[in-house]
């Protein structure tokens, strides 16, 4: 890189000021509340497409009721689902942004708590052993926060309030290399079958492939949080997504597990490389109200809110 | 397949006439129960409050923990009322029916073998309400009439008055028919075929 490039890059660096953290807190409050009420347009379109394509009359009626739920939430400003979920945040950090990470996390937590107390929202977060509910939607290591570093001078905060009906239907298996791609397919299909009606199908089936066990599970969640129909750029992965999507919807579990050809709205895969002895696969499903909302901070001004 | 508009609590005749695949809309009183309060009742063996016990005879129980707002007079206003996954509460089904007289469970996802058998033995039904559809369900709840075991918030026991509550799908009936089981049976066959062609 020429010296002029270094200078240009330095000039683009954004050192956040004091107001930034307050702005993050406000944004997280908004994101939590609004994500529970306003379903992303890609999910709405997927539900409508599924409704058009569904052949089983009772399945069609179920899908029509789900679409009616979304419009009722719009009109009455209601939460789509009462399950406020476990708040999960995906943070994308531009490499030219300078900030205090601990203060960012505090602001995210504070925004989540304020949404819960001020709206008010049901707090679904409890101590795992004592089962005591903190009443704030936060707790030890909750919200769950994932980070990714990218080029640029923006910070993006994506909230995914993850409902437990689908979260409880999560799976991880360390397959052997000899089980290959066929083993992956079989395992995913068995997971969807086993889950039946519980994750509130039609779901977005998120699949993690490769990595270590922990990485694999995180990839499955990232896949589930992707916009419906945004395919994986890797052609091999994309082919597997398409094949699994077709196979899952042939199974006949259907909307709410009561039959029909709408079991999944989409199948998304995120893949990492792995150890030569490993063939990890994880499944994390998103229930039909696949809620998510993001705030993008580009400078000291207010963030841009999108889905 | 027929549609019924029924008034809670239900009579023997109401239950008897329902078959898997029928749809129902309900009016009247339903009680919200779920994990924490059923664990306290059956596992920790804490007695139900005296004023609640007789009200459960013939009652309809909904698997739920609502989002609510507490008002200054101590009563609760609805924020979001929806339904949770039933399999977690499956093993309490027989106890709710046998010990307290509950006749119908409203939930999502269906019951396991044990709960489904209790419905047949004790002449009850399982109604599916669509999960994730709280926005719709909330508009059908007229009032939160009472609450017990408030310390378990939001997993207290709730009394709701509902109007035009549904659509509910009779997915497990008192005659031993089970829509979820039927669907799974077909899906297993389809899946085996899909796997053999991989």
Q: Pick B180's closest partner by Cβ from A84, A182, A257.
A: A257
CA dihedral A159, A294, B79, B62 (to 10 degrees): -50
For residues B170 and B20, is the Cβ–Cβ distance under 8 A? yes
Contact A83, B82 (CB under 8 A): yes
Query: Using 50, 70 and 90 to split pLDDT, how confident is the model at A6?
Result: low
Digit-coded pLDDT (tens) for B120-155: 999 999 999 999 999 999 999 999 999 999 999 999
Residues of chain B with C-beta less than 8 angstroms from the C-beta of A79: 67, 79-80, 82, 134-135, 138
The CATH number that domain B3-196 falls under is 3.20.130.10
Answer for the pair A262, A249: CB distance below 8 angstroms, yes or no.
Answer: yes
Q: What's the order of all strands across the beta sheet hosting A279-286?
A: A171-175, A279-286, A203-209, A264-271
In whole angstroms, what separates CA B26 from the centre of its chain? 12
| Nearest of B94, B123, B99 to residue B111 by alpha carbon | B94
| Answer CATH for A3-37+80-163+291-306 from 3.10.50, 3.30.360, 1.10.357, 3.40.720 | 3.30.360
Q: Does B183 touch chain A (CB under 8 A)?
A: yes
Is the pLDDT reported for residue A10 higher than 70? no
Instruction: Tell me whether strands A203-209 and A97-98 are parallel, antiparallel or unpaired.
Output: unpaired
Q: How does the average pLDDT of chain A come out, rounded?
A: 96
pLDDT tier at A49 (50, 70, 90 boundaries)?
very high
Distance CA B29, CA B40 (A): 23
Q: Is-contact A94 B95, C-beta < 8 A? A: no
Both structure tokens of B89? 């509460």
- Residues A101-154: pLDDT tens digits? 999 999 999 999 999 999 999 999 999 999 999 999 999 999 999 999 999 999
Q: What angle do CA A207, A121, A198 make, to 5 degrees?
A: 35
Give, to the nearest 10 degrees, the angle between helix A57-76 and helix A41-53.
150
Domain-wise residue ranges, chain A: 3-37+80-163+291-306, 165-286
For B178, name the nearest residue in chain A, comparing CA atoms only: A258
User: Among the listed ranges A12-21, B110-119, B145-154, which one has the minimum average pLDDT value?
Assistant: A12-21
What residue of B is the nearest CA neighbor of A255? B130
Q: How distant is the Cα of B182 from the closest Cα of chain A, in angstroms?
A: 9
Contact (CB<8Å) B131/A65: no
Does A168 contact B at CB distance below 8 Å? Answer: yes
Query: Any CB–CB contact under 8 A between B148 and chain A?
Result: no
- Does residue A62 belong to the interface with chain B, where contact is any CB pair within 8 Å? yes
Please check whether residue B164 is in contact with residue B140, taking contact to mean a CB–CB distance below 8 angstroms: yes
Give the pLDDT score at A231: 84
pLDDT of residue A2: 74
CA angle A37, A203, B192 (to 5 degrees): 170
Does the beta-carbon distance from A193 to B154 stay under 8 Å?
Answer: no
Distance from CA of A186 to the nearest CA of B (A): 7
**Are A188 and A207 in contact, with CB atoms under 8 Å apart?**
yes
* Contact status, residue B81 vs residue B141, Cβ threshold 8 Å: yes
Residue range A29-36: mean pLDDT, rounded = 98
Chain A residues 228-267 with a CB less than 8 Å from chain B: 247, 250-254, 256-259
pLDDT at residue number A180:
97
Mean pLDDT throughout B54-77? 96
Strand partners, A87: A161
Is the Cβ pair A122, B65 closer than 8 Å?
yes
């Amino acid at each position: 890189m020429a010296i002029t490039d270094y200078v240009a890059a330095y000039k683009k660096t954004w050192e956040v000021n004091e107001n930034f953290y307050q702005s993050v807190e406000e944004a997280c409050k908004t994101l939590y509340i609004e994500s529970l009420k306003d379903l992303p347009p890609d999910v709405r379109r997927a539900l409508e497409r599924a409704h058009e394509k569904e052949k089983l009359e009772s399945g069609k009626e179920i899908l029509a009721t789900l679409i009616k739920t979304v419009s009722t939430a719009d009109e009455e400003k209601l939460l789509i689902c009462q399950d406020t979920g476990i708040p999960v945040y995906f943070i994308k950090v531009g490499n030219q942004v300078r900030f205090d990470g601990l203060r960012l996390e505090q602001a995210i937590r504070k925004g989540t708590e304020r949404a819960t107390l001020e709206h008010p929202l049901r707090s679904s977060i409890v101590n795992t052993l004592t089962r005591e509910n903190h009443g704030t939607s936060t707790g030890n290591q909750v919200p769950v926060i994932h980070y990714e570093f990218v080029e640029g001078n923006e910070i993006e905060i994506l909230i995914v309030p993850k409902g437990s009906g689908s979260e409880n239907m999560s799976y991880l298996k360390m397959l052997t290399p000899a089980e290959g791609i066929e083993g992956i397919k079989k395992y995913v299909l068995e997971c969807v079958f086993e889950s039946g009606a519980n994750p509130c199908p039609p779901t977005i089936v998120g699949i993690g492939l490769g990595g270590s066990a922990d990485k694999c599970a995180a990839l499955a969640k990232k896949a589930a949080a992707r916009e419906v129909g945004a395919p994986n750029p890797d052609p091999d992965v994309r082919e597997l997504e398409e094949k699994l999507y077709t196979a899952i919807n042939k199974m006949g579990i259907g909307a709410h597990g009561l039959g029909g050809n709408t079991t999944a709205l989409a199948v998304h895969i995120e893949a990492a490389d792995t150890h030569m002895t490993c063939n990890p696969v994880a499944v994390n499903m998103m229930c039909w109200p696949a809620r998510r909302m993001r705030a993008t901070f580009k400078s000291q001004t207010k963030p841009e809110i999108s889905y | 397949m027929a549609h019924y508009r029924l008034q809670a609590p239900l009579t023997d005749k109401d239950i008897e006439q329902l078959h898997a695949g029928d749809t129902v809309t309900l009016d009247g009183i339903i009680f919200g129960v779920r994990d924490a309060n059923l664990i306290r009742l059956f596992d920790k063996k804490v007695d139900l409050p005296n004023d609640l016990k007789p009200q459960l005879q013939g009652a309809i129980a909904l698997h739920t923990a609502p989002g609510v707002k507490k008002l200054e007079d101590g009563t609760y206003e609805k924020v979001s009322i929806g339904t949770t996954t039933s399999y977690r509460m499956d093993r309490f089904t027989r106890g709710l029916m046998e010990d307290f007289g509950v006749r119908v469970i409203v939930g999502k996802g269906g019951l396991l073998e044990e709960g489904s058998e209790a419905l047949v033995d004790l002449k009850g039904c399982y109604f599916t309400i669509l999960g994730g559809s709280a926005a719709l369900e909330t508009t059908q709840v007229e009032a939160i009439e009472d609450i017990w075991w408030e310390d378990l918030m939001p997993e207290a026991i709730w009394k709701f008055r509902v109007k035009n509550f549904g659509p509910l799908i009779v997915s497990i009936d008192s005659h031993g028919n089970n829509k979820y089981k039927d669907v799974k049976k077909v899906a297993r066959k389809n899946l085996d075929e899909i796997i053999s062609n991989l």
